[in-house]
Amino acid sequence: MSVSLEVWGNYACFSRPEMKVERVSYDVMTPSAARGLIGAIYWHPGMRWIIDKIHICNPIHFTNIRRNEVKDTISANNVESVMKNGSGMLYLATPESIQQRAAMVLTNVRYVIEAHFKMTERATTSDNPGKFQDIIRRRLEKGQCYHQPCLGVREFPANFALCTNIPECPDELKGKKDLGWMLLDMDYSDHGNIQPRFFRALMYDGIINVPDFNSEGVRR
């Protein structure tokens, strides 16, 4: 069962994992970000979203901004120690940890996400594809979501709606464009060793066809 939704916003940042200090966005939305966005609108343990295509509907433009971020993290060892001892600090003091970082982000973005879902072993006897299809369509039409969908990071909220007519491809995006290696998604098959998977992102007339997770073109 498939669905098409249109998403747009003023800013977006789909961070490249190879950039360690400052955020630099991919040129377009990643399939991982698309899955997270649609999951914010509707998610159920009895189904699994799979992204099929991403349509880039606006020209690709970047801008540089500065963002406030915290430089520290709460370590797993610290959490384990507090749980054992029953005392300690499990928080970050923002005034002490905050710092400004530059980020190269996208501006004025608009995408159409084509996706489908598959039933999982966690589906109950009352769950069925038709039921899920009706729910997701109703939520898209009413603008309902579990939490605010975002365009890569929470500071950049996404507007969304059911797509009934895909916008025309901008002239700047027509033809074939190689966007390089892009994050497809994380491989959770081994929860003790979660690994990223990458694919070669080729855009044809503003459309990226997302490969199957286990296809030959996907790399670790």
Instruction: Give the H or E element holding residue 94.
Output: helix 94-97
Asked if 210 contacts 111 with a C-beta cutoff of 8 angstroms, the reply is no
Whole-structure pTM over 0.75, yes or no?
yes
Asked if 35 contacts 49 with a C-beta cutoff of 8 angstroms, the reply is yes
Please list the pLDDT of the chain residue by residue as tens digits (220 residues).
789 999 999 999 999 998 877 889 999 999 999 999 999 999 999 999 999 999 999 999 999 998 777 777 777 787 888 888 877 777 777 677 777 788 999 999 999 999 999 999 999 989 999 999 999 999 999 999 999 999 999 999 999 999 989 999 999 999 999 999 999 999 888 878 889 999 999 999 999 999 998 888 898 8
Q: What local confidence, expressed as pLDDT, does residue 76 receive?
A: 79
CATH class of 2-67+102-209: alpha beta
Beta strands 98-119 and 23-24 are parallel
Q: What local confidence, expressed as pLDDT, does residue 93 receive?
A: 72
Instruction: Tell me the C-alpha distance between 66 and 50, whole Å.
Output: 33
Domain residue extents for the chain: 2-67+102-209
The encoded tokens of residue 60 equal 């690709």
* Number of Cβ atoms within 10 Å of the Cβ of 24: 17
Torsion of CA 165, 166, 170, 175, to 10 degrees: -140
Instruction: Tell me the C-alpha distance between 130 and 119, whole Å.
Output: 11
